Amino acid sequence: MSEVTEKKKTAIKGGEWLIKTTEPSDIFIPEEWSEEHKMIAKSAQDFLEAEVFPHLDRIDDQEEGLMASLLDKAGELGMLGLSVPEELGGLGMDFKTSMLGAEVFGPGHSFSVAYSCHTGIGTLPILYYGNEEQKKKYIPGLASGQLKSSYCLTEPSAGSDANSGKTTAKLTEDGKHYLITGQKMWITNAGFADLFTVFAKIDDDKDLSAFIVEKGYGGITLNPEEKKMGIKGSSTRQVFFNDCKVPVENLLSQRGNGFKIALNILNIGRIKLGGGAVGGNKDLINHSVKYALERNQFGRSISKYGAIRYKLAEQTIQTFVAECSIYRATQNIQDAIDALTADGMDKNKATLKGIEQYAAECAMMKVLASDALDYVVDESVQIHGGMGYSAETRVERAYRDARINRIFEGTNEINRMLIVDMLIRKAMKGELDLMGPAMSVANELMSIPESPEDDGKPMFEERMLVENFKKCVLMVAGAAAQKLSQTLAKEQEVMMNIADMAIWTYASESAILRTLKLMEMKGEDAAKDQIAMTKTWLYDTTDRMNKAGKDAINSFVEGDELRMMMMGLKRFTKHAPFNPKNARQQVALSLIEAGKYCY
């Protein structure tokens, strides 16, 4: 049996991690990158070191032509077409490799925004939804950088509620063109884009349609560059369309399919943003460790002080856990794509279908990693002290640049609510059996608890704790779905509690799985820091799970049922004694010895 067929047979579908067991062999970990992958990462890192980092002030000043020239140079290296098929001018790499590209370019400040926009929302709608003529006409230029792209979805009155946009498309009398009229805002790369993917409603359609619009079509005007808190070098403008004449053959996909296109492309953008945030975290930790080693106070390097070591270790723990989670989800998506392709599905359709299956996980990765980035960048400034507040340091710029990531690709609040909504919808469609396991947990609350017998495998207590985390999620989500029913979507605080619990559970299991796989590959001693990070994360997460569960339950349950569920929550979030200080010290010492992020 082939490897692809085997994976197809055993792969866990989107959301099933909550009710099924995942084995370490089922996931991908960064320690498994091939030499080819490492060469791609090295090439991208060298590009940042040579072309981006020395010119950050010039980039932020939006020097005329500079950002476009950087995209040209990235195109010459093949970095704009990692996942574009070779016959269309790309490198033809898989989804997992494109995630590596997103991670390595993550520290690139404003350049990383221009890069991710061009290669993601700028290119992928045409690559995945364009017909053969459209792909042949535009994709080679996008892969080389000859064409620069932008994505026009958001409007002044249509942000998170994208389908409420008011931009219109009217068919001309001769039936040969659409006249597009409307206003788009917060459009990345707008200042130098040659192509715009524009979302508009044809006549009185309920749903959006999408169009490929060339800048040269006319009827397009741009407002001046927006003045922003951060990512100042990223071109961000309002774009106005006034009877912009677009050939009918530039309708992307089918009429009314624009909203689906937007949603699926955003799914990709969300997990890619998570990858970029992980890359940014690693870079910031490198700067923090370097400064901690160089800075002396009270006659000692500040790297010797417990408060600093705590910060370095916690930055690293959150980064490690986010990385474990993102590449686990990435491998799931890759396995789904491979299985669908093996069944004969077109690769582009298989990619969209595979990613759509893990839409909830994509949203989870966006929230987890962008929240971690905000912690890491904040503590990087703190470690640098007064110098961290100076514009002479990279961390000051990073502090401002990082903040957008909790807003990009749908706010973290919207994404949290989407996570719960998507999982419940899967359950309602019969694609995911959540209610059966939720009922089992409810029944378990009525019985005398039994302690599971140690199976002799590594990290038994930690694995059992994650199984209990899953019970917490099922208990709270099941009760909420049953009691709140149609009004659950309006109970946003409860939705966000459940989403956080799901994210932390997935992240906890991902960290355990990576650590176990590393132990199998290299031995327990070689994985001692990963064991320490995983145990520390679980120790802290146990209290977070308890608090979020209590907040949710207290919002909609009363009386004896409330007391029963509170007892269950207490049982499921019980943690053995653990010394987090020693574990963090161990991790911090490894960082200090290496002089950088070393995992």
Give the 3-state secondary structure of residue 202: strand
Per residue, the 3-state secondary structure of 542-558, as one string, reads HHHHHHHHHHHHHHHCC
Give the 3-state secondary structure of residue 174: coil
pLDDT by residue for the chain (599 residues), tens only, comes to: 334 444 444 568 999 999 999 999 999 999 999 999 999 999 999 999 999 999 999 999 999 999 999 999 999 999 999 999 999 999 999 999 999 999 999 999 999 999 999 999 999 999 999 999 999 999 999 999 999 999 999 999 877 777 888 999 999 999 999 999 999 999 999 999 999 999 999 998 999 999 999 999 999 999 999 999 999 999 999 999 999 999 999 999 999 999 999 999 999 999 999 999 999 999 999 999 999 999 999 999 999 999 999 999 999 999 999 999 999 999 999 999 999 999 999 988 999 999 999 999 999 999 999 999 999 999 999 999 999 999 999 999 999 999 999 999 999 999 999 999 999 999 989 999 998 999 999 899 888 877 888 888 999 999 999 999 999 999 999 999 999 988 999 999 999 999 999 999 999 999 999 999 999 999 999 999 999 999 999 999 999 999 999 999 999 999 999 999 999 999 999 999 999 999 999 999 999 999 999 99
Same domain, 97 and 142: yes
CATH number of the CATH domain containing 553: 1.20.140.10
- Beta-strand relationship, 177-188 and 195-202: unpaired
Name the token pair of 453: 């017998």
Same domain, 59 and 118: yes
Closest CA to 485 of 429, 554, 424, 431: 424
Closest CA to 362 of 321, 330, 331: 330
Q: Within a domain: residue 299?
A: no
Q: Within a domain: residue 378?
A: no
The last residue of one of the domains, among 256, 284, 302, is 256
Same domain, 469 and 341: yes
Q: Which residue of the set 155, 314, 396, 409 is catalytic?
A: 409
Closest CA to 328 of 85, 547, 14: 14
As a whole number of angstroms, the distance between CA 351 and CA 341 comes to 9
Which H helix or E strand runs over 559?
Answer: helix 559-572
Same domain, 138 and 169: no
Same domain, 67 and 185: no
Q: How many C-beta atoms lie closer than 10 Å to residue 190's C-beta?
A: 26
Which residues touch 598 (CB under 8 Å, ≥6 apart)? 590, 591
Same domain, 9 and 80: no
> CA neighbours within 13 Å on the CB side: how many for 158?
18
* Sign of the dihedral through C-alpha 137, 140, 144, 149: positive
Give the 3-state secondary structure of residue 141: helix
Which residue shows structure tokens 């016959």? 87
Which residues touch 506 (CB under 8 Å, ≥6 apart)? 17, 325, 361, 364
Number of domain units in the chain: 3
Same domain, 84 and 230: no
> CA neighbours within 13 Å on the CB side: how many for 459?
29
Boundaries of domain holding 242: 151-256
Same domain, 194 and 332: no
134 close to 143: Cβ distance less than 8 angstroms: no
Same domain, 423 and 335: yes
Q: Is 509 a catalytic residue?
A: no
Q: Within a domain: residue 479?
A: yes
Name the token pair of 220: 């397009």
Q: Within a domain: residue 345?
A: yes
What's the one-letter identity of residue 539? Y
Q: Within a domain: residue 163?
A: yes
CATH number of the CATH domain containing 173: 2.40.110.10
Same domain, 178 and 51: no
Same domain, 105 and 201: no
